[in-house]
């Protein structure tokens, strides 16, 4: 997720439409699963050859082709041909460093999104690119192919012909997929909110360089999250306003719902950013406060013992004629003087609120 | 109020329109109160079964149904059916993590707002979600159900047929409810302004880590307040511009009034944010100033006593031949020299404005 | 001027149009003065009863009614009735915590402005709310009633039938009043610019916590000023664009003039804010610089005397066999060694630019 | 250039159109020079009385009247009458605290600009207000009258009938004047860029309070420059879009050119501001770094000599029975122990990278 | 790349359209290469005299003239005449301090871009200005002439008649050139991302003034990059919306592709800026942390040895009557007391988490 420009450079100089996979290969083999459904039937199978998709493509029922793994360039080129995709579209599907966007190619809509995953080991959010092609009777979805996706509940709903989904056309399916991805953002945000709460406790109890690091890491997570979510607003807004016949008016109300969720996600990210900035301020001033505390100790010790040591030094001089040296009370009197001086200094410091 | 994403995740993967209560259960039992009124009569009662609402719904007089407590999903679903609400509307009513918004469903307007409460114990502002459904002859209001709301004066006005309220349609009632909520923001802001004033005194008299904490807490309160109020501008602006036949032209002037108040609230929040930023600057520089003060004390003490101790150390050496050791005046002369040195250093420090 | 939300809360829950005075009572008695003029005559008098206004209201000549003091609710309600003002207008006139705004009520324009005053005692700018009602042949102006206003030159001009004012209708009078208020902002800004210049000198010569306080106070003044002036742009812009027949085309050029002045005031405020931010930076780094200076003194003293004291300490040990103790040259040689060490350290520090 | 509000206050309360000179009197006597030219002739002379302008005003050839010095109010009023200027225009010409602006008065365009000068003595940029009146066959330019202006090359071009200038109407002349002023901004920016480069060297080699001051001064220069240039974008953009018949379509392409330059100037100013902010950060952290360096020296000295002095102090005690006092090897052994301790501490500090 | 205003001043005062080369002379001799191609042929040659271009200019096939080196003013003037360029266009080509822009001159489009180069020696990004003239059957490209450009792959594609390029008109060639330049930005960004990663490691392992310098240098690179790329968005957006017949509808989809890339570059730059700001925060707080660490060492040493030295000093006094001096156990007991004190202080410091 870190460097979007990474490896993008390999493509510099090549003509647009050149098919090159940019990004990590996240899965060994490409899996193509197809669900073909309408109100009365639901056919689900794994497809090996692209040719198997032809009959489904031409049937009037909604066909959802999900491609997991996008590193096999020839395969994707074939799928592109099969569904008459523009070369630029296939190029963009192969390039995992896309910004979320929506493009209307007339025959189909091309939508790029970022799906967020949360691996347990390091807690760093990982983004996976999801490309959607919405045609009149088909939806293609391309994933980079990490273990687990958020589309399973939708598959379940199609299988059980539950809810609105089987009664509606491909645009509703597309909406359902986008909705699933946006809903998942809340899961990720919730995890981050827990991290922030933990960090706040740490900031109060035991702030240290580790705390600063965690704040900065979270801040950076927010930067990337924002980058992934911010353009989504435009994407869904664009879908809502799209004059494409592919989007039916009845879907509009559901898109507005997703739009609301997106705004809410953006709002929450901004709030977290503000909170993290505040935590940075607290951390920095806690460093200064501790420095102050240390300096006070140093000053108190120095201020008490320097005069006393000086007094002792004076009576350590080897002058022959010094008052009191020979007296029996010289030593105890000096000691009493020293203790008095020390105590009065302590009282002074307490009055100054240094103790 | 803190983490809007909290528990929202439970819903990820479910189809839109799935009815799930998201948020805390703030009241044990759901209370439904109905006020049905026009210029000539006013009927007020508590309703147990949703069926009791049917006759009132169909009467031409304005019916205000207030639902306190939104955790009983089936009940709300029933009310939704009774008033022909879209499933997405009912879903949004159940989800307490909505952003303030206004949606025109043709048959009715759906408005989400945040009502602010101020518990005395900790001083943290608590937000309660209020959803309004404005139909042609009814207004439904859904509250989470905390003790006390700001709608009582409106009930009073209806009962007494006081003011414009009973002479107008449901849109005026909706305006009255929104106005009550916005007016209440001023009460909350006033409380916060008192906190800020207290904090300013504390900042002058006895700044410490507690002060910083309070500043940060207030800043965070402002972030949440802003998040609750900012979208309101759009909501009310949207109502003003709405071409819905549900909003009568005569109500426009009252909506403009509420709009003005909202702008004023936002303005005040921004001003408070600026003030709190200034206070943070003052706090941070007060830490630095105190460090400077401590360091000056340390430096003065060290600068005075180090040379004196050195002088004493010199005359504490055991060389056999040292001038003055045997002299009667050696000790007093050295003492005079020491005192002179010390005093001249003090004078120097005063000249340097360190004392 | 500080807390706009103050006392505003008393109104929460009351229906819109309820007349309550919000703000301080700044004058004991309400004074109503009327000037009725056209090109040929000018009648000026103080009015006791609202009824006295009727004949003037109905005459075709321009009538300017100035009300000083707005705490007598019944009186204002009566004036409102007399000039057929909307209840919301009268409510807004009574509430001194308005944001500057312009509202077109068809029969009249309602304009709210802030007039700035500068009391000598504390130098804090005080804002007074001025509400203007511009009708076809009358202008009502409502002031809170502080001693002295900026309208006297306009009265003078009307009396002497000087300039354009008596040849024009009520909209020109309104423009003249707004112009007077905006012109007065320059006077206030000039005073603030002097404060800033003084502060800059102080910052160079003797920066201290007082300086910081002054910077923060000025910054806050700027926040309030900005809040008072910023919406003015919209107000005057709105007047320019207003399609109201109350504003004659020939007045447009004069409104553009006032608009320019407003932009200039806003510009100047922004510049002052930038300058004050720069001064804060200078102040903070001057603290750090002084800390550095103090620490250098401490380090120099410690670095010089610690080794010397150690040397003295070594020769103060009671070993029987130490070289040089018995020698006549032991003491002077050690002294020379000490002085040499001290001087070479001073040279080193000078080379390091610490002295 | 500093306080735009300065002396502006004298005008508060006066009716619009009152002619008062606001600003410093920068030249003793007002000079009026006229150039009247077309493709075939060029007449240049100094004019004493405004009446001399009449014949030129009425001739069809382009007449450029340049007025240096604007403090003689009557003279300017006369010129205003001669060219039928609106009183507000003459008022604005007299007020040197205008913001750059463009106003279309139908018969003529009124343009206010800021010309920048760079006196050598203090390096502070000085702004001079230039007002242009563009009529159908004349251009009036009003300068405050500092020594030297940037219009000489244009005069030269007219005299030599060089380039497009004598073949075009008054709007092209106006464009040439604006172009000359904007081009001059590059000269000023270049000088500032040199200052910034010098400052950067100083920041690396010998940062001190002077550096901070210079940074702040440059930052402030940028604030003023920005204030002078920013509105220019609007002015020239306004000229481009102006539907005035005074601007011929063929001039549009040249205005676009000047517009580009203005954007470039603004861009450069913004870049310089960013760079200066970065320099402030470097300066502040260089202070901290030096504090760190000083503290390290202090700590090293203290850490080495305190234990050694303590050891010496122990053997300076007067106990009768202390081991080694009587031994021949006591002193050398202790010395060796001390030197070893000191050296191992130095090694430790080097390992800690404090040395 | 640093000072855009540099040498620009030489031009101040000259009439628009004056041809002067502004910028460094980056190549000794000007090279003009021509590629003339359509679907069936491809002619490539180096041209010495401008006259050689005439036949190609008039042929219907696409002619791409690439001029490397723009310091020979007469040559460029000749080319300008040959292709009927407006004098302002030629002037802009000669001035290397242009901001990226697009201008529609009817007969041709004029586009200014910045090509980025990355010299290995210092790692500072160097920008080279590229001007494109897009006519109906020709494209002129002007480069400053640094070694190596990013157009070679395009030449290759034309030679091999590979891809879409030879089947399309001049607008597609222009798109290909812009695309090559934008693609190259990714290469530069990738290099910078590596620098940032290195810097991050350095920041963790060994932060020092060098780190700060590198952060500031990268920040400045970002400022310049941003300045070069930001206006590009407008340029390409302008091309997309251009109603010029020179841009064919089929090219639109490719321009949208380049537009997407530009947005992605801008996004990445903004992200890097945010990251660099975060690194600055980390650096500054690491300085403070180290100061704290140093101060703790100082305080610990002082706090332990000051009391011990004082105790030793007390028993170094020369009073005749002091308890324990004569005792055999005096010295060992005091030593034990001292060691105990020291150890308990260490324990205290460990408890305070200072060790």
Give per-residue pLDDT as tens, C1-35: 344 444 677 777 778 878 888 887 777 788 899 99
For residue E188, the distance in angstroms to the closest alpha carbon of chain D comes to 20
| Chains adjacent to B (≥3 CB pairs closer than 8 angstroms) | A, C
What count of residues does chain A have? 355
pLDDT in tens, D106-136: 899 999 999 888 765 566 778 889 999 999 8
As a whole number of angstroms, the distance between CA B310 and CA C23 comes to 69
pLDDT of residue A120: 58
> Comparing A245-254, B278-287, C11-20, E227-236, which segment has the lowest mean pLDDT?
C11-20
pLDDT tens, C192-221? 888 899 898 888 888 888 888 889 889 988
Q: Interface pTM (ipTM) of the complex?
A: 0.80
pLDDT in tens, A187-204: 888 888 888 988 988 888
Tell me whether residues D322 and E331 touch, CB distance under 8 A.
Answer: yes
Residue A4 and residue E271: Cβ atoms within 8 Å? Answer: yes
Query: How near does any CA of chain E get to the CA of A296, in Å?
Result: 9
Q: To 5 degrees, how large is the angle CA D2–CA D4–CA D8?
A: 135
Interface contact flag, D150 E317, Cβ < 8 Å: no
The percentage of chain D sitting over the pLDDT mark of 90, rounded to a whole number, equals 23
Q: Compute the average pLDDT of residues E84-90.
A: 91
Closest-CA distance of chain C to residue B82, Å? 31
- Which residues in chain E are contacts of A327 at CB distance < 8 A? 319-321
- Residue D145 CA to residue D128 CA, distance in Å, equals 8
Q: Where do the H-state alpha helices sit in E146-251?
A: 152-159, 170-205, 209-241
* Separation of alpha carbons B347 and B304, rounded Å: 11
In angstroms, the CA B290 to CA B279 distance is 16
CB spacing of E313 vs A317 below 8 angstroms: no
Considering only CB atoms, E287 lies closest to which of D176, D289, D354, namely D289
Axis-axis angle for helices D170-205, D209-241 (nearest 10): 160
Alpha carbon distance E66, E52 (integer Å): 14
Q: Which residues of A touch E168 (CB under 8 A)?
A: none
Of C150, C268, C282, Cβ closest to residue D13: C150
Per-residue pLDDT tens for C104-150? Answer: 888 999 999 998 887 655 667 788 899 999 998 899 999 987 766 78
B257 with C87: CB under 8 angstroms? Answer: no
How many angstroms separate the CA of residue E116 from the nearest CA in chain A? 13
pLDDT of residue B121: 56
Q: Which chain C residues touch D327 with a CB distance below 8 Å?
A: 321
Q: Which residues of chain A make contact with B8, given a CB cutoff of 8 A?
A: 186, 190
Interval D153-207: pLDDT, tens: 888 888 887 777 888 888 999 999 999 999 889 888 888 888 899 898 888 888 8
Mean pLDDT score, A246-252? 88
Q: Nearest residue on chain B to A180, judged by CA atoms?
A: B13
Nearest neighbour of E4 by CB, restricted to D184, D256, D264: D264
Tell which residue, B118, B125, B187, has the closest CA to residue B147.
B118
**Among chain D residues, CA nearest to C150:** D13
Q: Contact C53/C47 with Cβ under 8 angstroms?
A: yes
A84 vs chain B: nearest CA distance in angstroms?
31
- d(CA C29, CA D50) in angstroms, rounded, equals 56
Q: What is the structure's pLDDT at B3?
A: 43
Question: Looking at the predicted structure, is the pLDDT value of residue D7 above 70?
Answer: no
The pLDDT of residue B130: 93
D12 or C336: whose pLDDT is higher? C336
User: DSSP 3-state helix, strand, coil percentages of chain E (rounded to 5)?
Assistant: 55, 15, 30
Q: Which residues of D touch C260 (CB under 8 A)?
A: 98-99, 101
Q: Do residues E330 and D323 lie in contact, with contact meaning Cβ atoms separated by under 8 Å? A: no
Least Cα separation, residue D53 to chain E (angstroms): 27
B255 near B239, Cβ under 8 Å?
A: yes
Residue of D nearest to E314 (CA): D317
- For A336-350, what is the mean pLDDT? 90
- In a mutational test of the B interface, the residue from A317, A326, A353 whose CB has the highest number of chain B CBs within 10 Å is A317
**Contact at CB, D216 and C306, closer than 8 angstroms:** no
Contact between B285 and C290 using a beta-carbon 8 Å cutoff? no
Alpha-carbon distance of E102 to E110, in angstroms, equals: 6
Question: In terms of pLDDT, which residue wins out, D257 or C56?
Answer: D257
> For residue C287, is pLDDT > 90?
no
Quote the longest CA-to-CA distance of chain D: 120
Q: Is the pLDDT of residue D3 over 60?
A: no
Neighbours of chain C (3+ CB pairs under 8 A): B, D
Q: What is the mean pLDDT of chain E?
A: 86
Query: What is the β-pairing status of strands E62-68 and E138-143?
Result: parallel
- The reported pLDDT for the residue numbered C231 is 92
Q: Report the residue of chain B nearest A178, measured CA to CA.
A: B13
Is the predicted pLDDT of residue A1 greater than 50, yes or no? no
E153 neighbourhood in chain A, CB within 8 Å: 13-15
Domains defined along chain A, listed by start: 8-284 (3.30.460.20), 292-351 (1.20.58.340)
- What residues in D contact C193, CB-CB < 8 Å? 2-3, 5-6
Q: What is the mean pLDDT of chain D?
A: 86
Q: What is the mean pLDDT of residues D255-275?
A: 91
Rounded to the nearest 10 degrees, what angle do helices D252-314 and C252-314 cross at?
A: 20
Q: Is the pLDDT of residue A147 over 80?
A: no
| Shortest alpha-carbon distance between residue D27 and chain E (Å) | 24
Residues of C in contact with D5 (CB under 8 A): 186, 189-190, 192-193, 268
Residue E280, CB half-sphere, CA atoms under 13 Å: how many? 22
Report pLDDT for C120.
Answer: 57
- CA of E174 to nearest chain D CA: how many angstroms apart? 22
DSSP per residue, A316-347:
TS--S--TTTTSSSHHHHHHHHHHHHHHHHHH
Q: Give the residue on B whose Cα is nearest the Cα of A313.
A: B312
Per-residue pLDDT, averaged over E222-245, amounts to 88
Rounded CA-CA distance E285/B333 in Å is 51
Closest residue, chain B, to C280 (C-alpha): B281
Q: Are B78 and B50 in contact (CB under 8 A)?
A: yes
Rounded CA separation A4/C33 (Å): 71
Subunits with at least 3 CB pairs below 8 A relative to chain E?
Answer: A, D
Alpha-carbon span D65 to D86, nearest angstrom: 18
C43 forms beta bridges with C36
Which residues of chain D does C303 touch, with a Cβ-Cβ cutoff of 8 Å? 297-298, 301
Q: Which of B125, B223, E272 is nearest to A274 (CA)?
A: B223
* Interchain pair B186, C15: CB under 8 A: no
- Tell me the DSSP string of B96-108: TTPPPEEEE-SS-
Q: Distance (Å, rounded) from C-alpha C304 to C-alpha C306? A: 6
Chain D residue numbers with beta carbons less than 8 Å from the beta carbon of E232 are: none
d(CA B21, CA B75): 12
Q: CA-to-CA distance for E355 and E350, rounded, in angstroms?
A: 5
pLDDT tens for E3-56 read 444 467 777 777 887 888 888 777 778 889 999 998 888 888 888 888 888 888
The rounded distance, in Å, linking the Cα atoms of C31 and A288 is: 58
pLDDT digits (tens, 9 = 90+) for B24-62: 777 778 889 999 998 888 888 888 888 888 888 888 889
Nearest to B288 by CA among D291, A206, A291: A291
**Chain C environment of D283 (Cβ under 8 Å):** 285
Contacts of E89 in chain D (CB under 8 A): none
How many whole angstroms separate alpha carbon B328 and alpha carbon B334?
11
pLDDT in tens, B169-179: 889 999 999 99
Rounded Cα distance between B165 and B37, Å, is: 10
Question: Which of B186, B197, B253 lies at the smallest CB-CB distance from C8?
Answer: B186
Give the distance, in angstroms, between the CA of residue A43 and the centroid of all CA atoms in the same chain.
37
Q: In this predicted model, what pLDDT tens digit does every residue of E214-225 receive, in sequence order?
A: 898 899 888 888
Residue D130: strand pairing partners: D113, D143
Mutation choice for C interface testing from B317, B334, B342, B348 by most C CBs within 10 A: B317
Record: contact B186-C326, CB cut-off 8 A: no
Decide if C153 and D14 are in contact by the 8 Å CB cutoff.
yes
In the structure, what pLDDT confidence band is assigned to residue E116 with cuts at 50, 70 and 90? Answer: confident
- What residues of D are in contact with residue C179 (Cβ under 8 Å)? 16
C-alpha–C-alpha distance, residues C309 and C33, integer Å:
86
Chain A and chain B share a number of CB contacts under 8 A equal to 164
Indicate yes or no: pTM above 0.80: yes
Q: What was the pLDDT predicted at B127?
A: 85
Q: Quote the minimal CA–CA distance from D180 to chain E in Å.
A: 5
Query: Quick check: B102 and B131 in contact, CB under 8 A?
Result: no
Measure in Å the smallest separation between the Cα of B20 and chain C Cα atoms.
33
Confidence of residue B140 (pLDDT cuts 50, 70, 90): very high
Asked if pLDDT for residue B83 goes beyond 80, the answer is yes
Which pLDDT tens digit goes with each residue over E20-31? 888 877 777 888
pLDDT for position D111: 94
Q: Rounded to whole angstroms, how far apart are CA atoms B211 and B213?
A: 5
SS3 content of chain D, % helix, strand, coil (to 5): 55, 15, 30
Yes or no, beta carbons of A297 and E292 under 8 Å apart: no
Closest chain D C-alpha to C322 CA, distance in angstroms: 6
How far are the Cα atoms of A38, A159, B267, C328 from residue A165, in angstroms, in the given order? 9, 10, 45, 110
């Amino acid at each position: 997720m870190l460097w979007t420009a990474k490896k993008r450079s390999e493509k510099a100089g090549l003509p647009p439409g050149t098919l090159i996979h940019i990004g990590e290969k996240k899965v060994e083999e490409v899996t193509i699963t197809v669900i073909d459904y309408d109100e009365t039937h639901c056919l689900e199978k794994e497809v090996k050859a692209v040719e198997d998709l032809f009959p489904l493509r031409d049937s009037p029922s909604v066909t959802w082709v999900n491609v997991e793994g996008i590193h096999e360039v020839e395969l994707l080129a074939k799928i592109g041909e099969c569904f008459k995709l523009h070369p630029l579209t296939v190029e963009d599907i192969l390039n995992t460093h896309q910004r979320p966007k929506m493009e209307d190619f007339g025959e189909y809509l091309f939508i790029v999104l970022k799906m967020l995953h949360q691996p347990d080991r390091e807690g760093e959010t990982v983004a996976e690119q999801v490309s959607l092609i919405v045609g009149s009777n088909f939806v293609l979805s391309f994933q980079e192919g990490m273990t687990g996706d958020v589309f399973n509940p939708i598959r379940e709903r199609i299988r059980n012909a539950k809810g609105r989904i089987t009664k509606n056309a491909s645009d509703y399916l597309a909406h359902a997929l986008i909705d699933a991805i946006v809903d998942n953002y809340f899961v990720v945000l919730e995890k981050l909110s827990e991290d922030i709460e933990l960090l706040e406790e740490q900031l109060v109890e035991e702030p240290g360089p580790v705390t600063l690091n965690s704040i900065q890491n979270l801040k950076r997570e927010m930067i990337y999250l924002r980058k992934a979510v911010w353009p989504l607003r435009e994407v869904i807004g664009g879908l809502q306003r799209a004059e494409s016949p592919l989007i039916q008016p009845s879907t509009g109300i559901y898109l507005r719902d997703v739009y609301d969720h997106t705004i809410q996600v953006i709002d929450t990210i901004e709030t977290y950013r503000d909170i993290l900035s505040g935590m940075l301020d607290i951390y920095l001033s806690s460093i200064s406060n501790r420095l102050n505390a240390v300096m006070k100790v140093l000053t108190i010790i120095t201020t008490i013992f320097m005069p006393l040591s000086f007094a002792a030094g004076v009576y350590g001089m080897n002058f022959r004629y010094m008052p009191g040296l020979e007296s029996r009370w010289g030593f105890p009197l000096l000691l009493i003087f020293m203790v008095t001086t020390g105590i009065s200094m302590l009282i002074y410091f307490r009055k100054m609120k240094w103790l």
